[in-house]
C-alpha cells in the first residue's frame, strides 16, 4: 500500500493538463468514487490498527495534494476562459475618460498676455525666491516700509533678506537691468504675502505686472493702454477711473477701477452700490527706479501696472471666494471647461 501511495503521489505531482477534458480525466481517475485514491481508502479500512497508523497520514496527504492540484488547474482554466472572450454585460455604458481642462487662473492669465501681446508687450519671467535688491531696494522701498516686515513677507533667510517675492515687479527690475529701452513687457507669476487666509486674501496669488519704457511715455499712454485692456477683458462698454494712490516705485501712482461688470455701473452688491470695482495698481515709473536699473531717467520715462489674476478672474467669472482657486475641487474647476 505504501508503494501505491508513493506512485500515485508522483503521478499527481507530475500531472499537467492541456485541456479541461484532460483535467476531468485526472479527477475521475484519482478522486471520483471509483478513483484510485478512493479505492485506497477502501483498502485502508481493512487494515489493522498498526498499519492504519502508519499509512493514514500519507494517504490523507495524497488525497489533499490531488485535490489541491485539481483546484489550482481548474482555476487556471477558468480565468483564461474569461480573458479569451467577452464577459459581463457588454451593453452597459462604457467607462468615461475624464479629460483635464485649464485652470481658470491660467485661462485669464493667457487672455491678459494675449491682450498685451497684441500691443507689443513681451512676456518675461523671473525667480520666485528673490533678494532684497530686486524685490525692494531697487524699487525704492524705504528701509522701514511695512512690506519689508516679517509680518507681511515670507523671509527664507532673514539675515541675507532672501524672501518669496511679494510681487512680480522684481522681474521688471531684472528686465530693466538686462535690456535697453524701448521696453514693453508683462511679467506673470506667483507671488507670496503673509496674510491670513480668507475669501478675499491668501498667502499666495498670481500677478501680471506690466512695464513700458521709452522716450516720451506719458500718463496718457498709461491710461489709454489700461482702458484698451479693460474693454478687451470685460467688454466694450467698460469704463475706467483712476484714483490717486501711493507705491514706492511709481510717481504719480493710481488705483484703477473698472465700471462694475455685473450691474454695468448702476450699483449692485458686488460693487457695494458704487458702480465701480478696483482692479489694479499703476503709475509712472519713479525716476529713482530707472536710475537704480541704470536707465537714464533724464531721457526715458515709463509706466507700470500690476494686477492680481485671481481678482480679475473673480470679476470676470463671478467667483466669490479666493480659496476656490487652490482647493482643487473638480466641481468648481469643471465649470471652466468651455471658457476660453
Ligand atoms: N507691485 C504692486 C503690487 O504688487 C502693483 C503695481 C505695479 C503698482 C506697478 C503700480 C505699478 O501691489
How far apart are alpha carbons 288 and 145 in whole angstroms? 16
In this structure, the answer to whether residues 333 and 209 fall within a common structural domain is yes
User: 243 pairs with which residues across the strands?
Assistant: 255
Q: Tell whether 260 and 300 lie within a shared domain.
A: yes
Same domain, 314 and 222: yes
In this structure, the answer to whether residues 110 and 230 fall within a common structural domain is yes
Domain with residue 289: its CATH number is 3.30.930.10
Q: Are residues 114 and 198 in the same domain?
A: yes
Are residue 116 and residue 240 in the same domain, yes or no?
A: yes
Asked whether residue 153 is assigned to any structural domain, the reply reads no
In angstroms, the CA 174 to CA 185 distance is: 11
What's the rounded Cα separation, in Å, for the pair 150 and 108? 31
Q: Are residues 335 and 199 in the same domain?
A: yes
Q: Which of 194, 204, 209 to mutate to test the pocket of ligand 1 (most atoms within 8 A of CB)?
A: 209
Same-domain check for residues 119 and 65: no
Q: Give the separation between CA 226 and CA 254, rounded to whole angstroms.
A: 12
Residue 231 lies in a domain: yes
Provide the number of structural domains found in the chain: 2
83, pLDDT greater than 80: no
Would residue 149 count as lying in a domain?
no
Nearest to 135 by CA among 100, 113, 168, 110: 168
Residues 73 and 109 in one domain: no
Percent of the chain with pLDDT over 70: 97
Question: Do 108 and 176 have their domain in common?
Answer: yes
Return the DSSP state at 100.
P
- CA-nearest residue, atom 4 of ligand 1: 167
DSSP for 233-271 reads: HH-TT--EEEEEEEETTEEEEEEEEEE-TTTTTS--TTT
Tell me what pLDDT residue 226 has. 98
- Residue found by looking up cell 452597459 in the block: 92
Range of the domain at 71: 2-82
**Do the domain assignments include residue 203?**
yes
Dist CA 245 CA 230 (whole Å): 19
Query: Which residue is closest in CA terms to ligand 1's atom 6?
Result: 306
> Taking the CA of residue 204 as centre, how many other CA atoms within 13 Å lie in the half-sphere pointing to its CB?
11
Cα(20)–Cα(5) distance, rounded to whole angstroms? 25
Which pTM value belongs to this model? 0.73
> Are 15 and 114 within one domain?
no
> pLDDT tens digit string along 267-282?
999 999 999 999 999 9
> Is 134 among the domain residues?
no
**214-245 residue pLDDT tens:** 999 999 999 999 999 999 999 999 999 999 99
Say if residue 193 is in the same domain as residue 306.
yes
Q: Which atom of ligand 1 is nearest to the CA of 139?
A: 1
Cell numbers representing residue 304 in the block: 507700470
Q: Does residue 159 fall inside a structural domain? A: no
Of the pLDDT bands very low, low, confident and very high (cuts 50, 70, 90), residue 179 is: very high
Name the residue of 124, 130, 210, 249 whose CB sits within 8 Å of the most ligand 1 atoms, as the mutation to test its pocket.
Answer: 249
d(CA 317, CA 256) in angstroms, rounded, equals: 19
Residue 154 lies in a domain: no
pLDDT digits (tens, 9 = 90+) for 188-210: 999 999 999 998 889 999 999 99
Pocket (CB within 6 angstroms of ligand 1): 167, 169, 209, 247, 250, 253, 281-283, 304-306
- Residue range 11-36: mean pLDDT, rounded: 88
- The pLDDT tens digits of the residues spanning 88-126 come to 788 888 888 888 899 999 999 999 999 999 999 999 999
Helices (H), the chain: 2-14, 20-30, 36-45, 49-83, 104-118, 132-135, 169-178, 219-234, 287-292, 309-317, 330-333
Q: What is the pLDDT of residues 300-331, one digit of tens each?
A: 999 999 999 999 999 999 999 999 999 999 99
Residue 56 lies in a domain: yes
Amino acid at each position: 500500500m505504501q508503494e501505491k501511495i508513493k506512485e500515485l503521489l508522483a503521478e499527481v505531482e507530475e500531472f499537467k493538463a492541456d485541456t479541461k477534458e484532460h483535467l476531468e480525466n485526472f479527477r475521475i481517475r484519482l478522486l471520483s468514487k471509483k478513483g484510485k485514491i478512493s479505492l485506497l481508502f477502501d483498502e485502508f479500512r481493512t487494515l489493522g490498527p498498526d498499519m492504519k497508523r502508519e499509512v493514514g497520514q500519507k494517504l490523507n496527504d495524497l488525497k489533499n495534494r490531488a485535490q489541491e492540484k485539481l483546484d489550482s488547474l481548474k482555476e487556471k482554466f477558468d480565468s483564461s476562459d474569461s480573458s479569451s472572450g467577452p464577459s459581463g454585460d457588454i451593453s452597459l455604458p462604457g467607462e468615461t475618460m475624464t479629460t483635464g481642462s485649464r485652470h481658470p487662473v491660467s485661462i485669464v492669465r493667457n487672455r491678459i498676455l494675449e491682450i498685451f501681446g497684441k500691443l507689443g508687450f513681451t512676456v518675461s519671467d523671473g525667480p520666485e525666491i528673490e533678494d532684497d535688491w530686486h524685490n525692494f531696494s531697487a524699487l525704492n522701498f524705504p528701509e522701514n516700509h511695512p512690506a519689508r516686515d516679517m509680518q507681511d513677507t515670507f523671509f527664507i533667510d532673514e539675515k541675507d533678506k532672501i524672501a518669496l517675492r511679494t510681487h512680480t515687479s522684481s522681474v521688471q527690475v531684472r528686465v530693466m537691468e538686462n535690456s535697453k529701452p524701448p521696453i514693453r513687457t508683462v511679467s506673470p507669476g506667483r507671488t507670496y504675502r503673509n496674510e491670513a487666509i480668507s475669501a478675499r486674501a491668501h498667502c499666495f496669488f498670481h500677478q501680471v505686472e506690466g512695464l513700458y519704457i521709452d522716450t516720451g511715455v506719458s500718463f496718457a499712454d498709461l491710461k489709454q493702454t489700461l482702458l484698451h485692456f479693460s474693454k478687451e477683458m470685460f467688454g466694450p462698454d467698460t469704463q475706467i477711473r483712476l484714483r490717486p494712490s501711493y507705491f514706492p516705485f511709481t510717481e504719480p501712482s493710481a488705483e484703477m477701477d473698472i465700471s462694475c461688470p455685473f450691474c454695468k455701473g448702476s450699483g449692485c452688491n458686488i460693487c457695494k452700490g458704487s458702480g465701480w470695482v478696483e482692479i489694479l495698481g499703476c503709475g509712472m515709473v519713479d525716476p529713482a527706479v530707472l536710475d537704480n536699473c541704470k536707465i537714464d531717467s533724464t531721457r526715458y520715462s515709463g509706466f507700470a501696472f500690476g494686477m492680481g489674476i485671481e481678482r480679475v478672474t473673480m470679476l470676470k467669472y463671478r467667483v466669490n471666494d479666493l480659496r476656490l482657486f487652490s482647493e482643487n475641487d473638480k466641481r468648481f474647476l469643471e465649470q471652466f471647461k468651455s471658457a476660453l
